[in-house]
Structure formats: C-alpha cells, structure tokens
Amino acid sequence: MNSTPPASEELTASAPAGVSPDHPGVNELFALLAYGEVAAFYRLTEEARMAPNLRGRINMALMAAAEMQHYEILRDALERRGVDVVPAMTKYAPALENYHRLTTPSTWLEALVKTYIGDALAADFYLEIASALPAEVAEVVRAVLSETEHSQFVVAEVREAVAASDKQRYRLALWSRRLLGEAITQAQYVLADHDELVDLVLSSGEGLTQMTEFFDRLQRTHATRMQELGLA
Amino acid sequence: MNSTPPASEELTASAPAGVSPDHPGVNELFALLAYGEVAAFYRLTEEARMAPNLRGRINMALMAAAEMQHYEILRDALERRGVDVVPAMTKYAPALENYHRLTTPSTWLEALVKTYIGDALAADFYLEIASALPAEVAEVVRAVLSETEHSQFVVAEVREAVAASDKQRYRLALWSRRLLGEAITQAQYVLADHDELVDLVLSSGEGLTQMTEFFDRLQRTHATRMQELGLA
C-alpha cells in the first residue's frame, strides 16, 4: 500500500521478503495442522482410557476439545482461501498416524508425558514456522497455538510420580526422548514428501541455515520441558 | 431489591415463587448435567469409530468438543457456588452410563440418530426444567444448551439414507423410539433416587401437573424430531 521504504519495512516486519500469502505451501501448512488437530483429538480420547479416575478423563477430554477449537480456526482460514479442508488434509494422515502409532503409551504416566511433550513440540514447531510466514498467515498459526494451559495439569502429576520413583524417572525420560525422535523423523518425512512446505520454509528469511538451527532449537526447548516435568 | 408489587412481579417473571437459587436441588441439577456432558463426550468419540469417512469423524469430534464447552460452563457455575464438580457428579454416573450402555448403536446411522435424538432430548429435558428455575440458575442451563447446530449435519445424512430404503426407515424409527424409552426410564430412576431434584421440580410452578405434562411434551417434541429425520 505504501511504497516509501520506512513504512514498507514496518509493514513487512513479520513478513519476510519472498513469501507471499498466496504461496501454495500456506494451504499445505494449514491442512497439515488441521489433520494434526483431529489426529490429536482422537488419540487423546483413546489414551484417556488409561486415566485412573474421572478427573484425569475430564482433563484429557478438555485438551481434546481444545484441539477441535484449533481445527475450526484452520478450517475457517482454509475456507476463506477457497480450500475444502477435508480433501486437503488427508494426504498428511500417514505421517501423523505413524507418529501416534509409533508412540502409543503403555501407561497413564506415559500418556501424560506424551500429551505435554507432544503439545509443546507442536507449539515449538509451528511457532518457528509462523515467524517465517507472512503476517496474516502467521496470525492464524499463532491463534491456533495460543491455548496451551490445558496441558498444565500434567506437570504436577508427573513431577509427583518421578519424585517418588527413580525408576519411573528414567523410564519417562527415555520415553520423552523417543517422542522427540519420532516427531523429528515424521517431520522430515513430511518435508521430504511435500515440496511446497520445504519451499515455504526455505524462501522465508534465512533458508537452509534456519532449517538446521530449527532442529537444534527444538532439542533445546525439549530439554526445558523435560526439566519442567522433573525428568532431567 | 424492589418490594413494590409490579416491579417485584417483573423481576421474578422467570423465577417462580418457592424456588430459591440456594435450593439444594440446583447443585444436583448442575452436577447431573455436568456428568451428562462428559459421558456424551466419551460416547460420541467411541461411536465415531463407525463413521464411514474422515468428515463423519470430524463432525462427531466437533459435537464432542461442544459437550466439553458445556461442561466448563457447569463446572464454573458450581465453583461459584462453592461445589467441586467431580465428587458432586459421580453419583449420576450409573444412570447416564446405563442409558449409553442400553443404547449402544450397531451402525453408523444408528449412531447419527442417537446423536441427534439424544441431543434434542437432553435440550428438551433441561429447558423444561430451566423454565421452572430461578432466573440466575435458568441462565446457566440455557447457556449450556444454546449450541445445538452441531448436530444439524445428521439430518441430511439420515434423510438421504431413509429415502433410499424403507427397511432403514423402519429400523431407525424403532431405534429412535427405543432411545426415548430408555431416556425416560433413566430420568425416572434419577428422580426416584434424588429427592432434591424432585423437590426442585415440584416446588417450582405447577408441581405434579407439570411433571405429567412434561413427559407428554417430551413425547410430542420427539415426534417432531422423527419427522425432521424423515422417520415418521
């Protein structure tokens, strides 16, 4: 709108040169996120069966419900872009279902850790991408990820369990590292299969350097989460 | 606040004489509704396994998520009244779990009809009760039940199926009547076991007459729903 350098720079502060809101990767990103929300919803409700009591089942149900609120934001954003969410998202089913299949918890504590770490990893992953996106697109991604307080109930329960048992702490620390490993593996599969997404990340800001640093940062924030849970 | 007759009448227009917001039945009603929402959440996610496609699973997940939004309204209302929702609601588990156990659908169409009829019955049931409650209590109940558009996706799918097959229509009409029967049976069990709830209904407005008419009205609105679904 305003072509004088200072104003233009201001306007594009969070919209790096080279990425347009019409980039085909944007629809793909939203579709990937949308499938992620639905997959998380059904996994949470399944893993909630391991809850030892009604309160645990309710907490899992509230988290699952929040995933569907996020789904609705993405569905509406895609609709505004003329894309029907359901056919667009099905291509991301294999990677996300594989992640969940390979990280099926065998205890309630594993389910809790997965919920917390998975939620946090997804948030890290998508916020990293958001910072490289045009402002209007980044806004949708941030709106989706603004609510994370639902997984806070996990912290107290896990900390208490691992304070009482070193064996639990080692087991859950290992489990938590496996979650990170599988998440990175599946993220790389998704990028390998979907050129538009790679192009979206590369054409934004720092490109390849950013990509390497991105996976480094994921590891660092994961370490912080393990400390929060008393696992490191 | 204002004791002159006309103003007072206006203030209590939706708050019949005899029912105080402190009536012990109010907490019981909110607890019953709260358990109903959680039970519906988990049943919907289970019955969604029968969905023939992703779109069906998403519609069920959106409905389930709405139940948890209702639960949060009830939990917050109980908290404001100094009541911890989880211990308060567990006594209603048997009636609601029995209803779901006795009405486990065996096909996707049965699941859809149960979703629609069950949602509508719950709405009828609670709105009837709301009209007999003090205004501030009725407001909570109405807020919980304000969202019903989520079950609208059912109508088109069921109408199409029964238009194509008389056999399906007869089967689903029978199923729908069974749902009503089980709902009334369980409602009567709940009332028989919980004097505070009976007292809440009886001490409001028309008392016993209202009770009889209430079950008559339930049957009439149920007939309307069957027509909407093409079952009558």
Report the CATH number at residue B103.
1.20.1260.10
At B146 the pLDDT is 67
Question: CB B42 to CB A61 under 8 A?
Answer: yes
Q: Which residues of chain B have pLDDT under 50?
A: 1-16
At A146 the pLDDT is 66
Is residue B150 within 8 angstroms of chain A, CB to CB? Answer: no
Token duo for residue B158: 């069921």
At B205 the pLDDT is 59
Distance (Å, whole) CA A201 – CA A19: 9
Residue B10 located in a structural domain? no
Query: In 3D, which of A47, A70, A144, A35 has the Cα closest to residue B42?
Result: A47
Residue A5 located in a structural domain? no
Running DSSP on this structure, what letter comes out for residue B204?
S
At B232 the pLDDT is 86
Residue B13 located in a structural domain? no
- Residues in A closer than 8 angstroms to B147, CB to CB, are none
Mean pLDDT across chain A: 84
At B94 the pLDDT is 93
| Alpha-carbon gap: B71 to the closest alpha carbon of chain A (Å) | 9
Element counts in chain B: helices (H) and strands (E): 11, 0
A55, A64, A69 ranked by CB distance to B86: nearest: A55
Query: In 3D, which of A89, A147, A158 has the Cα closest to residue A119?
Result: A147
Residue A15 located in a structural domain? no
Tens of pLDDT along A36-88?
Answer: 999 999 999 999 999 999 999 999 999 999 999 889 989 999 999 999 999 99
Query: In 3D, which of B121, B105, B140, B141 has the Cα closest to residue B186?
Result: B121
Pick among A35, A42, A84 to test the B interface (most B CBs inside 10 A): A42
Residue B108 CB partners (closer than 8 Å, separation 6+):
B50, B51, B52, B56
Higher pLDDT, A111 or B138: A111
At B13 the pLDDT is 40
Question: CB A42 to CB B57 under 8 A?
Answer: yes
CA dihedral A104→A108→A110→A111, nearest 10 degrees, is: 60
At B65 the pLDDT is 94
- Residues in B closer than 8 angstroms to A68, CB to CB, are 61-62, 64-65
At B206 the pLDDT is 58
Residue B188 located in a structural domain? yes
Distance (Å, whole) CA B145 – CA B92: 19
Question: CB A65 to CB B41 under 8 A?
Answer: yes
Residue A182 CB partners (closer than 8 Å, separation 6+):
A99, A102, A103
Pick among A43, A44, A45 to test the B interface (most B CBs inside 10 A): A45
* ipTM attached to this prediction: 0.84
**B residues 53-112 near A, CB within 8 Å?**
54-55, 57-58, 61-62, 64-65, 67-69, 71-72, 86, 89-90, 93
Cβ A68 vs Cβ A41: under 8 Å: yes
Residue A215 located in a structural domain? yes
- For A41, nearest residue in chain B (alpha carbons): B61
10 Å CB burial of residue A132 (0-12, 13-18, 19+) is: buried
- Residues in B closer than 8 angstroms to A65, CB to CB, are 41, 64-65, 67-69
User: How many A-B residue pairs are in contact by the CB < 8 A criterion?
Assistant: 63
Residue B91 located in a structural domain? yes
Token duo for residue B28: 């019981």
Number of domains comprising chain A: 1
Tens of pLDDT along A162-210?
Answer: 999 999 999 999 999 999 999 989 988 998 899 888 887 776 655 566 6
At A12 the pLDDT is 38
A41, A48, A57 ranked by CB distance to B61: nearest: A41
Domain limits for position B71: 21-228
Residue A57 located in a structural domain? yes
- Residues in A closer than 8 angstroms to B72, CB to CB, are 62
Query: In 3D, which of B203, B218, B150, B226 has the Cα closest to residue B15?
Result: B203
Pick among A54, A84, A147 to test the B interface (most B CBs inside 10 A): A54
Task: Output the DSSP codes for B59-108.
Answer: HHHHHHHHHHHHHHHHHHHHHHTT--HHHHHGGGHHHHHHHHHHT--SSH
Q: How far is CA B208 from CA A148, B60, B156, B201, in A?
A: 48, 38, 39, 8
- For A84, nearest residue in chain B (alpha carbons): B55
Question: CB A68 to CB B62 under 8 A?
Answer: yes
Tens of pLDDT along A121-145?
Answer: 888 777 777 776 778 888 888 887 7
At B148 the pLDDT is 59
Pick among B54, B73, B97 to test the A interface (most A CBs inside 10 A): B54
